[in-house]
Structure 1
């Protein structure tokens, strides 16, 4: 038998006498009637978005949103995009000049060897048949041009929009520039090695011309363009 008398609870157990037990009140008497409305109000406020401070919320306050663009970063990113545009245009210009002019090997202006013809004392001959290394050099230079123009178009498009579907346009531009530089390097390395071999002279004594030099100059410019675009792609504003 269990009963309550004057604020005390008495329990009756078999073969034992009644033992008084003190009833514990967790809330002051003035708040007992107001406890339920207070709990409901707290629940509603949490559901409405007024959440208490939690570790997740503290982290959100300490670390900014990754998609947030700092206004101070935007001018710097614009500068890097303009710089990349100038570099890729210069690289393409040098590569097209090198591909179009036949001054790859010159010897006191009497011998002129290019990718399309060979001239001896102002008398020019077309390649027939075309040597294999000339074909390889042409092919890789054309691939470099295609990759360079892809990088240029992606770079210009990235000024107006950041992504093309799930792909970042700055990343496309960077990959295109690196690919163009790689193709140009392969083309020029093939030409350099084969000319030195067929001339039977040391590499340092081969009279390479200015078209050959412009082709090599485009190689590091493509790489610099790709590096700048990779920096832009990893920046918080991209």
Structure 2
């Protein structure tokens, strides 16, 4: 297996892991007051009546990003097994799905950041983004890197020519 494909698989796996952890944890936003602290994520408790629309958008695009990420990593794994992949097409399709995953995650993170940033602040409550939020942002450049490395791996695949016929 060539090095670019191996590194693309590693980086894609890291992006998928960070997106899955970000999606499933409740530390996207933290609020600390004089006598309490609270944290929230994308999956509110059942005792809230309605969920804001930007949370639904963030959930949806995060899930789409994770599904594309699973497809990207799966295609890279299959491209490492010559009998299961089309010659030279695995890294190309994998890089396209990695770029789509990065785009979906970028939309999700931008919507969440924009909506949370514009919410009114209380003078006695210190609020900030937390580690789950940052893991979501980390997955974007990781998927872009995985897509770029997949393109490099695709360009280095030997093409059939007259000498191979």
* TM-score, reference length from structure 1: 0.59
Q: Secondary structure at the match of 1:207?
A: strand
How many Å apart are 1:125 and its aligned residue? 5.7
Residue pairs, 1:128-167, within 5 angstroms: 128-161=49-82, 164=85
Runs of at least 4 residues of structure 1 off by over 3 A? 124-127, 162-167
Please say if residues 155 and 173 of structure 1, whose CA atoms lie closer than 8 Å, have aligned partners that are also in contact.
yes
Equivalence map 1:203-222=2 (5 Å): 207-222=128-143
Corresponding residue to 1:184 among 91, 99, 105: 105
How far apart are 1:235 and its partner, in Å? 1.3
Bigger fraction of residues in helix: 2
CA–CA separation in structure 2 for the residues paired with 1:132 and 1:225: 31
Shift of 1:198: 2.2
Measure how far apart 1:229 and its partner are: 0.3
Gaps of 5+ in 2: 160-165
d(CA) in 2 for partners of 1:195, 1:106: 11
Determine the structure 2 residue equivalent to 1:82. Answer: 6
TM-aligned CA deviation for residue 166 of structure 1:
8.4
Structure (1 or 2) with the greater strand fraction: 1
Aligned to 1:193: 114
- RMSD in angstroms over aligned alpha carbons? 2.4
**Matching residue of 2:23:** 99
Shift of 1:200: 4.9
